[in-house]
Structure 1
Amino acid sequence: MGSGEWGWIVPDGLWEVVEPLLPAARVRQQGGGTANLDDRAVFAAVVYVLTTGCAWRHLPPCFGVSKSTVHRRFTIWTKDGLWGRLRRVMLERLADAEVLDLSRVVVDSVHVRAKKGGEHTGPSPIDRGKPGSKVHVLSDCNGLPLVIGISSADTHDQHGLTPLVEALPAKHDPERAPHLLPRKLHADKAYDNSELRTWLRRRGILPRIARKGVESSQTLGRHRWVIERTMSWLTGYRRIARRYERDHRHYLAFCDLAAVITCHKRLAKTTT
């Protein structure tokens, strides 16, 4: 299988980032067995599921791998932590290319219906109490997704902020630290909490959170609109717009993969 056969769905630049991070193939102690199928074909099939939202059993035969093989490899990669590593490496590349703008970061969340329930699901307050999840996103000034988290649909937005900020990748290189430490954080009135403001200031981040009954929604809207676009980018991947995975780790894996692809598209535009 040629190296560029899946370039239409997994560009060469993205594959160069992914391939070194893949876990080594399992070796049977008793010997025998068959060699792993082409990793790039399997990865392309996972991206296809993410993009189209199709069920694993509906994967087209053009990838040359069975649906059970793709799902099994996806599960192995998820347990190995591939998607989190991939997201962190992509952010490092964005920082190296001076594409990230952390003069301010923006936080928000979106509800998604959880078709099959599972961990981190709950009655949605905006969907007549049907089971759902909430996707929390922290983006840079231009809307590039930095960190994604999930919770049950009835979780208050305030509880999603601190895990996102704490999950921001940090380097101990003093020359890089200023590029990875946000200066300001913008959020709407759902995050209006004095303890959150104090916590952010202690971390050297200036909170710009709308105050209930004081500031109108339009006051900070000129900075917050980018997160709405980010949500549109992410939910454009149909496997994210609805949650079909009972295992929350699998759903979060798709969210991380969507963020990686979004960031790679911006990086590719910058470097060409």
Structure 2
Amino acid sequence: MATIQEFSISDTLWARLEPLLPVHVPKPHPLGRHRRRIADRQVLNAIFFVLRTGCQWKAVDATGLCKGSTAHSRFQEWVQAGVFARLWDEALQDYDELIGLNFAWMALDGSLHKAPLGGKKNRAQPHGPRQRRRQAQPLDRSTRHAGGAGAGGGEPARHEIDGEHLA
């Protein structure tokens, strides 16, 4: 099992990330009190922990990095400020300098039309609250009648063993 320290941001990475973060201007509290703001680096460690592991925001509480609600609200604040978009741009620039990006082999397809083998137009669609899972309604409902398929009032199936009926 990985420890929390394996997910922490290195000093080199933090030096690159810190200028991308917006400067926080504290709002004065009406009663003159407030909790101290948790350090951005600590919250960013929690955000990256969630992004790397895929855990829920509330699971961050158990890590001791910060509260999950704090990490989530700061994540939303930084998404609105465009921090992660700028981080993506800088990462692409770094990758281009180190390895190089070649867009010549990429293509963009913007066509919007029905797939050629997309299926029939009037296929059976699930409808109705009484319908069980994986049980589609028949296409033509006019063929249903009281004693027909799906009525459930028919005679139970008979089981036979060597020509003898078992009830």
Could you tell me the TM-score, scaled by structure 2's length?
Answer: 0.53
Preserved contact between residue 18 and residue 86 of structure 1 (Cα < 8 Å): yes
Distance 1:23 1:192, change over 3 A: closer
The structure with more strand, counted as a fraction of residues: 1
Higher relative contact order (CA 8 A, sep 6+): 1
Q: Which amino acid aligns with 2:92?
A: L
The percentage of counterpart residues that share the same residue type is: 30
* 1:191 partner amino acid: D
1:15 maps to 14
- Whether 1:24 and 2:1 are equivalent positions in the alignment is no
Residue 60 of structure 1 deviates from its aligned partner by: 4.3
Deviation track 1:153-185 (CA, whole Å, cap 9, x = no partner) reads xxxxxxxxxxxxxxxxxxxxxxxxxxxxxxx13
Q: CA deviation at 1:75?
A: 0.9
Unpaired runs of at least 5, structure 1: 106-183, 194-272
Number of matched pairs: 106
Aligned 8 A contact 2:42 2:65 in 1: yes
Equivalent-residue separation in structure 2 for 1:29 and 1:60 (angstroms): 27
Tell me by how many angstroms 1:45 deviates: 0.9
- Report how far residue 11 of structure 1 moved: 2.3
Deviations 1:11-57 (A, max 9, x none): 22221111111111231145542331021111111111111111111
| Residues 1:88 and 2:89 aligned together | yes
Using the TM superposition, give the Cα deviation of residue 186 of structure 1 relative to its aligned residue in structure 2, in angstroms.
Answer: 2.9
CA separation of 1:60 and 1:192: change in aligned 2, threshold 3 A: closer
1:70 aligns with 71
Q: Tell me, yes or no, if the aligned pair for 1:17 and 1:86 is still in contact at 8 Å.
A: no
Instruction: Give the match for residue 37 of structure 1.
Output: 38
Q: Which amino acid in 1 is paired with 2:105?
A: L
Cα RMSD, aligned residues only: 2.7
Matches within 5 A, 1:222-241: none
Which runs of 5 or more structure 2 residues have no equivalent in the other structure?
112-167
Shift of 1:7: 6.4
Q: TM-score, normalised by structure 1?
A: 0.34
Q: Secondary structure at the match of 2:106?
A: strand
